[in-house]
């Protein structure tokens, strides 16, 4: 809590307005920051106790500004378990956002699909998740000031925001999927047997982020909305290989749809 407060105090000195919406941009989706009227940028390395992002395709700064008339804070570049950060480090920025005044958290990521109804470039709104393959970020002493020891997870992704996002897609004549995201550690993509397993356990897509952030946000009482951009097909009958470059390219191509949903969702909050 002391470290969180130091980071928050530092950021409040850099930018005095209160951001009520937080945004986390996933792999290949960093260009969304161009939609924000940027008022202040703060490099992660300058923020006390903040981890620093290392993966290609991710920037490393916190952006404050206006989106659809609201004051927002966006993470250009997030922290992944496979980079070597522990769960507490991964959720540190989410908790900082909460203490800065953020009430609604919008998350995005690139994901592989095991749902035969999906294709590369689709957007899937996450309506639930499976977190059993990555450590729960709330393990350890509970910070009571943030939330309860045993948080309810019956609605990890706010139903009202999901419905609004679907309506936005319909109004703009594009298709969105809805489904379950399973988080894995990476950095390997899955074997065919693993993709098959993921399908069998009831997930639609798989990725290496989002879930720990969602848990921390729920713990702290924030409303969460999350979207996956489908960047690869992970079904057993597809004998395809996957590269990080392909993931970034597919995410970049789907970004305009993501931008419409985020912008209009923020306007409606």
Q: Which of residues 149-188 bind ligand HPA (CB under 6 A)?
A: 184, 186
Q: Could you tell me where the beta strands, DSSP code E, fall in the chain?
A: 21-25, 37-43, 61-67, 70-76, 104-113, 123-130, 177-183, 205-207, 223-233
**232 in contact with ligand HPA (CB under 6 A):** yes
From residue 268, give the alpha-carbon distance in Å to each of 36, 67, 99, 262, 265: 16, 11, 22, 10, 5
**53 in contact with ligand HPA (CB under 6 A):** no
**231 in contact with ligand HPA (CB under 6 A):** yes
**255 in contact with ligand HPA (CB under 6 A):** no
Q: Which is nearer to ligand HPA, 122 or 223 (CB)?
A: 122
Q: Which of residues 108-127 bind ligand HPA (CB under 6 A)?
A: 110-112
The first and second tokens of residue 48, run together, are 């006390």
**24 in contact with ligand HPA (CB under 6 A):** no
Q: Which is nearer to ligand HPA, 128 or 246 (CB)?
A: 246
Q: Which is nearer to ligand HPA, 92 or 195 (CB)?
A: 195
Q: Which is nearer to ligand HPA, 168 or 184 (CB)?
A: 184
The 3 state secondary structure assigned to 143-188 is CCCCCCCCCCCCCCCCHHHHHHHHHHHHHCCCCCEEEEEEECCCCC
Min dist CB 225 to ligand HPA, Å, is 19
Angle subtended at Cα 204 by Cα 150 and Cα 176, rounded to the nearest 5 degrees: 105
**207 in contact with ligand HPA (CB under 6 A):** yes
Question: Contacts with ligand HPA: how many residues (CB under 6 A)?
Answer: 15
**206 in contact with ligand HPA (CB under 6 A):** yes
Closest CA to 226 of 25, 20, 56: 25
Q: Which is nearer to ligand HPA, 104 or 231 (CB)?
A: 231
Q: How many residues can be counted in the chain?
A: 269
Helix (H, G, I), strand (E, B) or coil at 48: coil
Sign of CA dihedral 195, 197, 203, 204: positive
User: Is the preceding peptide bond at 187 cis, omega within 30 degrees of 0?
Assistant: yes
Q: Which is nearer to ligand HPA, 37 or 191 (CB)?
A: 191
Contact letters for ligand HPA, residues 57-96 (x by CB under 6 A): ----------------------------------------
Min dist CB 152 to ligand HPA, Å, is 27
Listed ranges 52-60, 90-98, 107-115, 159-167: which one lies at the site for ligand HPA (CB under 6 A): 107-115
- For residues 218 and 224, the answer to whether their CB atoms sit within 8 Å is yes
Cα 156 versus chain centre, distance: 13
- For residues 30 and 59, the answer to whether their CB atoms sit within 8 Å is yes
* Residue ranges binding ligand HPA (CB under 6 A): 110-112, 184, 186, 189-190, 206-208, 231-232, 234, 242, 247
């Amino acid at each position: 809590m002391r470290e969180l407060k130091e980071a928050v105090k530092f950021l409040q000195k850099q930018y005095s307005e209160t951001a009520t919406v937080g945004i986390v941009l996933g792999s290949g989706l960093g260009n969304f920051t161009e939609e924000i009227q940027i008022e202040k940028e703060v490099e992660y390395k300058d923020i006390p106790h903040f981890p620093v992002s290392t993966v290609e395709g991710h920037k490393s700064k916190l952006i404050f500004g206006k989106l659809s008339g609201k004051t927002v804070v966006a993470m250009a570049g997030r922290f992944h378990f496979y980079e070597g950060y522990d769960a507490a480090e991964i959720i540190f920025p989410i908790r900082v956002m909460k203490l800065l005044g953020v009430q609604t958290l919008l998350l995005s990521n690139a994901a592989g699909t095991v749902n035969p109804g999906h294709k590369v470039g689709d957007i899937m709104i996450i309506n639930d998740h499976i977190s059993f393959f990555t450590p729960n970020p709330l393990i350890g002493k509970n910070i009571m000031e943030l939330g309860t020891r045993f948080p309810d997870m019956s609605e990890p992704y706010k139903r009202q925001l999901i419905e609004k996002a679907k309506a936005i897609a319909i109004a703009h004549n594009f298709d969105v999927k809805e489904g379950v995201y399973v988080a894995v550690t990476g950095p390997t993509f899955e074997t065919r047997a693993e993709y098959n397993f993921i399908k069998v356990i009831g997930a639609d897509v798989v990725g290496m982020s989002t879930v720990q952030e969602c848990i921390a946000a729920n713990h702290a009482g924030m409303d969460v909305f999350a979207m996956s951009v489908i960047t690869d097909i992970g079904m057993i009958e597809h004998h395809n290989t996957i590269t990080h470059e392909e993931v970034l390219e597919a995410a970049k191509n789907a970004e305009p749809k993501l931008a419409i949903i985020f912008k209009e969702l923020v306007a409606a909050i």
